Structure formats: structure tokens, C-alpha cells
Amino acid sequence: MSKKSTFSRRDFVRSSALVAAGFAASSDVITLAQERPSSGKASPIRLGLASYTFRNFTRTQMIGFMKQLNVFALNAKDVKDHLPMDPQEEAAALADYAAAGIKLHAAGTIYFAKDEDANVGSKFEYCKRAGIAVIVAGDPTPQTLPRIEKFVKEYDIGMAIHNHGPEDKLWHSPLDVLRAVKGMDPRIGCCIDVGHTVRAGTDVVQAIHEAGPRLFNLHMKDLTDFKSKESQVAVGEGIMPMRKMFEALIATKYKGFVDLEYEVHPDDPMPGVISSFAYMRGALAGMGVRGPGLKDLLTMMI
């Protein structure tokens, strides 16, 4: 087999993105605007991390990984010691994140087991303590939504219902969520998980457009087979329409984060995580979106 035939689609796209980034500006003048808001005008696409990616690692280890990745936006979950529900333990976690310069923008996936004020309210208190603006909810029933709406209004915290694909008894697709919340408070909407969305047979680009202002969070992943949950790979190695999704997010003026949720290789996720962020950053650079400089992109790919 010739060298030419072994040059993969991923290599081609990444190389093209790097060339585009090089033409756009030198690494001396392009800053890390995506992950560090203080560096200048924010990019229209903000990349973050879902802490579930590092579910087998402690908070301290995850913070170290995030520094390596130059990612400082976190969607935290009560897994390991990432963001415990206990107030004292939560406070310790928040202090660690603040010291590392990491900001929490969402929490989840959070589950609402009971349609009771005490159960629902405790989850809102948990996020209020952390200064989190969006709850990513896994399983609220349609019957629970009026109670949740009451707390959304009281706390001014958004509720993003996460779809979990064909296996989900309630929320196969973001379109199911949109039908259920139509007419409710505008702070109740979707967290689109792109992998579960395509497995449900939904056009993910169309779903982004249909969700519009009710899209509050997005979980990014890639698949090589849209019918197989087990086909997840690093972003850029599959067939997810990445550029079209980014274009849809920009067109709809999406204000939330694109959070990488890399669910495979839980004991050794960093190679895939590094590859995923490098691909997304390269794709955005190729689209002319301000983000990391060429030096940063090359560093991520080595």
C-alpha cells in the first residue's frame, strides 16, 4: 500500500485546517479566545469539557488534564469527587476549580428521581451554590416539568433536558424535548447530545436549528456508525457533520458551550481527548473562527 493511500480523511482535514490557520494569522497574534474570555473578543463557538469524560479520575487529576488541554470551561457532574452534592465537599471542589482558573457553566447529567419540591429544589440549590447557570437533566418526566418550571423561575437557572437516544424511554431526540417544553418558560430547553441524536435517526443539524434559543448545552462526540453506540471514536475520526454543526450553532447565535463528552477508553482518555480538541480547534480555524494559534494546534496534535 502506498503512502498516499494511507493518508486518512482526518489527516487531510486537520492539515487543511492548519494551513488555513496559518494563512489567517501568525501564532503570535491569535490568542486562546475560545477558552480564556479575558484574552479578547470571545469566539462564537466556546469549547468546554464534560467531566464525565474523566469519570475514572479524581478532581485533582482532571484539573491537571484540563491545564494540559488549555480548556478552562467545565460541565461538572457528581461523579468521583468532581462536584459532590454535599455542601461542604462541593465548596472544597469549587475552591480547587477557582484556584485553577476553571469556570463551571453547567452541571450534569442530574437526575430527578421524585416529583417533589424537596428533591427538585435540592438540585437547584446545588447549582446555585456553584454559580452554575444551566442544569443538564437526564430523566425528568413530562409530569415533573411544571414543578421544574417553578424552580427555574425562582432560581433563574436554565434547564437543559438531555436526550439519550433510542434506549431512552422519554427523550430519544431533542425534538421530543422541544415538543414537551413548547409554551413553557424559555429557560427550559435542550442539551443536544449529538451522538444519541443521530442514533435516534434525527438530523442533528436540523435539530440545532429547530432548538434555536432553547438550546442551552451541547455534548460533542463522534461515531463511525450512526446506528451503533459502541462506534464512538475521537472527534474527527467518525462521520459526524462537524463543520455543518458549527455553522448551525453560529447561524442560530448559540450562546452555550460545546462540551466534549468522550465516553470511550475511560481508563486512558487523554489521547482521544487531545485528538478531539485538536480537530475541533483546527476545524474552527479552517472556518476562519478566531481561536488557538497555529503553535497551539500543532502542540495538541503532537
pLDDT digit string, tens, across residues 176-191: 999 999 999 999 999 9
Provide the grid cell at 262: 468522550
Cβ distance 111 to 82 under 8 Å?
Answer: no
pLDDT tens digits, residue range 81-123?
A: 999 999 999 999 999 999 999 999 999 999 998 999 999 999 9
Number of DSSP helices (H) and strands (E) in the chain, helices first: 11, 10
Q: What is the pLDDT of residue 42?
A: 52
Q: What is the pLDDT of residue 139?
A: 87
CA 25 to chain centre: 27
Average pLDDT (232-252) is 97
Q: Is the pLDDT of residue 7 over 60?
A: no
pLDDT band at 292 (very low <50, low <70, confident <90, very high): very low
Average pLDDT (167-184) is 95
| Cβ contacts of 66 within 8 Å, gap of 6 or more | 49, 72, 74, 100, 102
Q: What are phi and psi of 187, to 5 degrees?
A: -85, 5
Q: Rounded to whole angstroms, how far apart are CA atoms 27 and 88?
A: 43
Amino acid at 230: E
Q: What are phi and psi of 36, to 5 degrees?
A: -120, 95
* Nearest partner of 75 among 277, 243, 258, 201, judged by Cα: 258
Rounded (5°) CA angle 88-52-231: 170
Q: What is the pLDDT of residue 290?
A: 58
Q: What is the pLDDT of residue 20?
A: 39
Q: What is the pLDDT of residue 103?
A: 98
pLDDT tens digits, residue range 113-154?
A: 899 999 999 999 999 999 999 999 998 999 999 999 999 999
Site of grid cell 454559580: 131
Specify whether the backbone of 253 is left (phi greater than 0), alpha (psi in -120 to 50) or beta: left
Q: Comparing 206 with 139, which gets the higher pLDDT?
A: 206
Provide the grid cell at 160: 437543559
Q: Rounded to whole angstroms, how far apart are CA atoms 284 and 8?
A: 19
pLDDT band at 296 (very low <50, low <70, confident <90, very high): very low
Average pLDDT (255-283) is 97
pLDDT tens digits, residue range 24-58?
A: 332 322 223 334 433 444 568 999 999 999 999 99
Task: List strand residue ranges (DSSP E) for 111-183, in order.
Answer: 134-137, 158-162
**Residue 247 half-sphere exposure toward CB, CA atoms < 13 A:** 8
Percent of the chain scored above 90 by pLDDT? 78
Q: What is the pLDDT of residue 113?
A: 85
Q: What is the pLDDT of residue 3?
A: 37
For the chain, helix, strand, coil in percent to 5 are 45, 15, 40
Site of grid cell 503553535: 295
Q: What is the pLDDT of residue 2?
A: 39
**In the chain, what are the domains?**
43-284 (3.20.20.150)
Cβ distance 49 to 97 under 8 Å?
Answer: no
pLDDT band at 289 (very low <50, low <70, confident <90, very high): confident
Provide the grid cell at 168: 431512552
Count, residues in the chain: 302
Helix, strand, or coil (residue 191)? strand
Percent of the chain scored above 70 by pLDDT? 81
Cβ distance 257 to 106 under 8 Å?
Answer: yes
Q: What is the pLDDT of residue 220?
A: 98
**What is the pLDDT of the chain when averaged over all its residues?**
86
Cβ-count burial 204-238 (b if 16+ within 10 Å, e if not): bbebbebbeebbbbbbbbbbeebeeeebbbbbbbb
Q: Rounded to whole angstroms, how far apart are CA atoms 254 and 261?
A: 18
